[in-house]
Amino acid sequence: VDLHSSSTGGEIEPAGFIFVGKEEDIKKSQRLTAKINGREIVVFYHKGKFHALDSRCYHEGGPLCQGEIEDIDGQACIVCPWHKFKITLETGEGLYEGINPLEPSPTPKWQSKGVKQRIHKITTDNGNVYVSPPDLSVNFDSDYFADKYKNGGELSM
């Protein structure tokens, strides 16, 4: 794995991190897609924070870069444009609305399916935004589509 091949910024990067864009540009556009070792990720700037996730939805590979961000139960979620799955920006958890039939008067509540979408570490330094390469010793459902669309140039915003 070559950690240094994806840089386009011509900047000196914090060790192991890959330059994805300028802080002020991403703040303006609110989102962008980038390649990390050939893997496409999407970066969101939402309510003062940067988030980086695999760009293809863990469900069937929908383009999260085209989704809307919604607040669900106090958590910012990207809503997949294909089948409206909701994924938390902070943790990559898949949320679903479920009811507990054992409750006296069951009402739907948002619940987590666990972490489904791979989240990437993101950091800013001196006006630049960097993402660290994924730790592939841990698996997430979104890896399947990240691999499938890897280096496939057709995916963009």
d(Cα 99, Cα 80) in Å, to the nearest integer?
22
- Of the pair 52, 129, the CB lying nearest ligand FES is at 52
Establish if 52 lies at the interface with ligand FES (CB under 6 A). no
CA atoms within 13 A on the CB side of 91: 8
- Asked if 148 touches ligand FES (CB under 6 A), the answer is no
Q: Is 102 helix (H, G, I), strand (E, B) or coil?
A: coil
* 60 contacts ligand FES (rule: CB under 6 A): yes
Is the torsion defined by CA of 45, 80, 156, 151 positive or negative? positive
Three-state DSSP class for residue 124: strand
Binding window for ligand FES (CB under 6 A); candidates: 35-43, 77-85, 93-101, 126-134: 77-85
Q: What is the number of alpha carbons within 13 Å of residue 15 lying toward its C-beta?
A: 0
Residues 6 or more apart in contact with residue 122 via CB below 8 angstroms: 20, 43, 50, 51, 52, 129, 130, 131, 132
Rounded to a whole number of angstroms, the minimum distance from the CB of residue 60 to ligand FES is 4
Residue 94 binds to ligand FES (criterion: CB under 6 A): no
Query: Does 115 engage in binding with ligand FES (CB under 6 A)?
Result: no
Site string for ligand FES, 3-42 (x = CB under 6 A): ----------------------------------------
For ligand FES, the closer CB: 26 or 54: 54
Q: Which residues here bind ligand FES, judged by CB under 6 A? A: 57, 59-62, 80, 82-83, 85
